[in-house]
Amino acid sequence: MGKSFFKKSKFILFCLFLLMFSRKHYAQFIDTLAIENIIVADSLFDKKDYKNAILFYKKTEKRSFFPKNEIYEMISLSHYYLSEKDSALKYMVKSIDSGKHYWTENLLKGDKITLTILSHDTTEIYLQHLESNTNKFLNSHEHVIYKKLSDSLVVRKQLDQKYRTIGKKKTRKEWKKQKDIDYENKLFLSSIIKKINSWPGYKEVGREGESACYLFTQHSEDSIFQKKCLYLMHPAALVNNMNPSHYGYLLDRHLLITKGYQVFGTQIEMVKKGDKSIAQLKKNNLFNRRYAKTLRSYFTMPPLQFYLDQMTEMNNSNFFFN
């Protein structure tokens, strides 16, 4: 018992040491202290030290950098494994209130732990709320605030991808047409932002509309405009009103242009090796691989190597859009 307590205390002190003396080169737009806190929290969770994990998740939540539903869900799961049913339910409800939803109805039905936690609510109100969140997400186009804008964005998104298939070489004329489309889309998005004074998320323009807005920003090649959009996107990502990965992709594109590094590991280039093109990180300049692993996990991105392998496969089958 004494040795176990000593080992646990030693680990926590080591984690605190990492927090105090983490690298001082802070990347713009990311909260390194929040990342360090959540790395410690996840390590404690993996070691089944749920009580101390909760402390670090709560520290992370106060920093307001990671999507809140993800943090609340980890706190809920920690309480669940401690057999603290009321607290597990409390934080699962906070996760749902912060926008927790599923990408398919089957994922909802298959999440046995969440359903077990919610079963302690005899009214079933929160399960209904979670089902409603999922339904509104899956059918977001039917629930949008700005229907006409949403319809226009869906059409403009098709134009955004018109000449962007890799494997098909663009002529100078086609490239000029695409640049003109990108510029018009940027102006259209600027007018939307001016109108609603926030990032056009799921509630405002639906999934397809939000995806279009992200693409228009990504392809604008205007770092000042991208920076403005990043400031608007982050609050939307916090409450799950947009695809959180879009924040990561745009941030990497912006940082690579303005600072020469990326933090999520989304920006790639294809390198010829033998008779095959292999995806690797552009400029091979990742700010911190440990940070990238955590950021990708909480902003709904697959593991880095899986992503690179996927990009390699898609590129070699000429099925990739950029």
Contact in structure between 78 and 45 (CB atoms under 8 Å): yes
Q: To the nearest whole percent, how much of the chain has pLDDT over 70?
A: 88
pLDDT at residue 282 in the model? 86
Percent of the chain with pLDDT over 90: 77
Query: Do the Cβ atoms of 160 and 181 come closer than 8 Å?
Result: yes
What's the average model confidence in pLDDT over 245-272? 94
Q: How many separate domains does the chain show?
A: 3
Quote the pLDDT of residue 168: 58
227 lies in the same domain as 284: no
Do residues 58 and 75 touch, judged by C-beta distance below 8 A?
yes
Residues 91 and 33 in one domain: yes
Summarised one tens digit per residue, pLDDT across range 194-235 is: 999 999 999 999 999 999 999 999 999 899 999 999 999 999
pLDDT in the model for residue 212: 97
Quickly state the pLDDT bin for 77 (edges 50, 70, 90): very high
Quick check: is 130 in a domain?
no
Is residue 232, in this structure, part of any structural domain at all?
Answer: yes
Residue 125 domain-assigned? Answer: no
Same domain, 277 and 190: no
Same domain, yes or no: 233 and 164: yes
238 and 265, same domain (yes or no):
no
Same domain, 265 and 238: no
Q: Residue 320's pLDDT band (boundaries 50, 70, 90)?
A: very low
Residue 273 confidence class, pLDDT cut points 50, 70, 90 = confident
249 found inside a domain: no
pLDDT(26) > 50: no
Residue 304 tokens, joined: 């880095």
- pLDDT band at residue 317, thresholds of 50, 70 and 90? confident
In the listed set 212, 242, 272, which residue is the last one of a domain according to the structure?
242
Averaged pLDDT for residues 233-246: 97
- Dmax over CA atoms of the chain, in Å, equals 74
The residue out of 99, 134, 169 marking a domain boundary is 99
**267 & 231 share domain:** no
Backbone phi, then psi, for 262, in 5-degree steps? Answer: -130, 160
Question: Which is more confident, 273 or 266?
Answer: 266
**Residue 226: its pLDDT value, please?**
95
Range of the domain at 22: 2-99
67 is a domain residue: yes
> Quick check: is 109 in a domain?
no
pLDDT band at 272 (very low <50, low <70, confident <90, very high): confident
Among the candidates 68, 99, 130, a domain finishes at 99
3-state secondary structure of 286: strand
For the cut 60, the answer to whether the pLDDT of residue 18 exceeds it is: no
CB 100, CB 118: distance < 8 Å? no
CATH of the domain at 56: 1.25.40.10
Whole-number Å distance between alpha carbons of 266 and 285: 11
